[in-house]
A and B are shown apart, each in its own frame.
Chain A
């Protein structure tokens, strides 16, 4: 990418960001709530694809980190009388440490082990937290009472999205991003040219854990009442994977192309045919694998490329 192109894309990014930040001015309650969901999944799916896109390691741990963030805010404010912002500062650090530990335990091994491990992680943390609550602390639900509105949370998430995009842009240009792409292409080759494969993967995975926990903490006031079964719902992980892959992980802005339509679809299904939400998720996975292996963005780029070649 030339220097001029780069500046152009930065300007475009900034313009879109300002537009996104204006949504609360025009949106009413219902659309504000949908915009908030979209902002939340944009941050989650983009930070997910920063790690999983180049390395092809499918992480299903998003719900675990998200839940840790939300739960820490809940327990900190209800049980220990902590300030909301203090907890928001603590939560992502805990998420990052957790991701780091999981990373060093599982990322040295093949991809399958990692998927399986992350698959049950949220469920395991949920049962542990419920057990501790039932036996030691007594209370089951936790209240998060702040005077933040949905529009406030939305703005925080848009700012966070901007930070994630900047980090992603920087990683793609750095040695780290280059290393990750080589790992994704062929891990053996990467190891042989002297890349410390485990360290590179752990760094990015830790970052995605940090971001997911931060999102969980920031969005906690929206739910007011935090319950382990709610915040650790494994569905979040799957939705994030579907959205990111649907959009395409080849580009930094790919995931958001999947986030918006799928969030609207989910909203529609949940409102009208809530019994079929699982079936819809299953079909979405199958559609991605069989028809959109590189996501919508990848597909469009492919079409453009083939058209360019035929007119040549």
Chain B
């Protein structure tokens, strides 16, 4: 029971991170391998502000989100648009964007290491909290609640507003949505920026209960990618289920076998998905 709830709480935060990357890959068609570094930036900001002025990470999130939104928007406009224009086909854009975002990821890690090379250790709401007779850390529950809140807000926006609908249209087909009068470039930039902001907020939330350091971003990029592939690209329901599965499996392995094997467990899931359901949990086979 303890394992299940902890796993689900962790999975909730994972779902939020994967949601960010899903917007970037599903709508803007950019496989952003620097995504994890934005997560770490969110964590670094939370740590910094908390240590300096002991401001709650939840408030930090409100400052960080618009900054990350703007930062990602600039990155898309300045660095990724030229690649989109240059690419002759989907494959070339994929390779170019992977290499470019790798570069950004390394550059960001380099910069963050020079800012703060050690662990971002701080303690926020590390108090016990009881659910159905078992005790959990309050910060995990708070992080989970905020992850759900942000996720629901985004979902409402995507499914019940006009820009949200336009964004979903772009994710289905860039050509067709261009034909019906949607500004595809603007929507892609918006999706990329929004995705970056969501991931950064996820990083701020995660930093309340997991201690991060500057170079750990790539691990979270991997986890987000595993979730997206398991859930199916662009499939929100699939991603949520996948994130909860990943959270559960990781927690189970960490508790019952060895905490050092969580990555191996995530990998085992990944291999199984690739071998048996490469189209995602709920995806249909391409015809």
Contact = CB atoms under 8 A, between A and B. Distances in A.
Nearest to B271: A105
Nearest to A106: B274
Interface in B11-48: 31, 33
B103 A112 contact: no
Contacts of B95: 56, 58, 111
A282 B264 contact: no
A140 B1 CA distance: 36
Contacts of A58: 95, 98-99
B124 interface: no
Given A58-B98, A283-B107, A116 B264 contact: no
Given A58-B99, A112-B94, A285-B106, 11 more contacts: A105-B274, A113-B229, A115-B98, A119-B218, A124-B264, A130-B260, A280-B110, A282-B109, A285-B99, A286-B103, A288-B99
A111 B94 contact: yes
Majority DSSP secondary structure for residues of A touching B: helix
A115 B95 CA distance: 9
B102 A238 contact: yes
Contacts of A288: 99, 103
Contact of B260 (A106, A127, A186): A127
A113 B273 CA distance: 11
Interface string A228-244: 00000000001000000
B106 A281 contact: yes
Contacts of B91: 56, 111, 187
B62 to A, nearest CB: 29
A5 interface: no
Contacts of B83: 289
B131 interface: no
Contacts of B225: 116
B142 interface: no
Contacts, number: 112
Contacts of A112: 31, 94, 98
Nearest to A101: B271
A293 B107 CA distance: 19
A279 B107 contact: yes
Contacts of B111: 279
A117 interface: yes
A124 B218 CA distance: 13
Nearest to A293: B96
A137 interface: no
Interface string A270-312: 0000011111111111101110010000000000000000000
Contacts of B100: 285-286, 289-290
Contacts of A293: 96
A261 interface: no
Contacts of B105: 282
A282 to B, nearest CB: 3
B99 to A, nearest CB: 5
A128 interface: yes
Size bracket of the B interface: 35 or more
Nearest to A102: B271
Contacts of A174: none
Those 3 A-B pairs whose CB atoms lie nearest each other, nearest first: A279-B110, A285-B103, A282-B106
Nearest to B229: A113
B197 to A, nearest CB: 22
A282 B107 contact: yes
A120 B104 CA distance: 18
B113 A127 contact: no
B107 A127 contact: no
Interface string B64-94: 0000000000000001001100000101101
A109 interface: yes
Given A119-B222, A128-B264, A282 B110 contact: yes
A290 B98 contact: no
B109 A289 contact: no
21 contacts: A111-B95, A112-B98, A115-B98, A116-B226, A119-B222, A120-B267, A123-B263, A127-B260, A128-B261, A131-B258, A131-B261, A278-B106, A278-B107, A278-B113, A278-B215, A279-B110, A279-B111, A279-B114, A282-B102, A285-B99, A288-B103
Contacts of A281: 106, 110
Contacts of A186: 89
A37 B31 CA distance: 32
B108 interface: yes
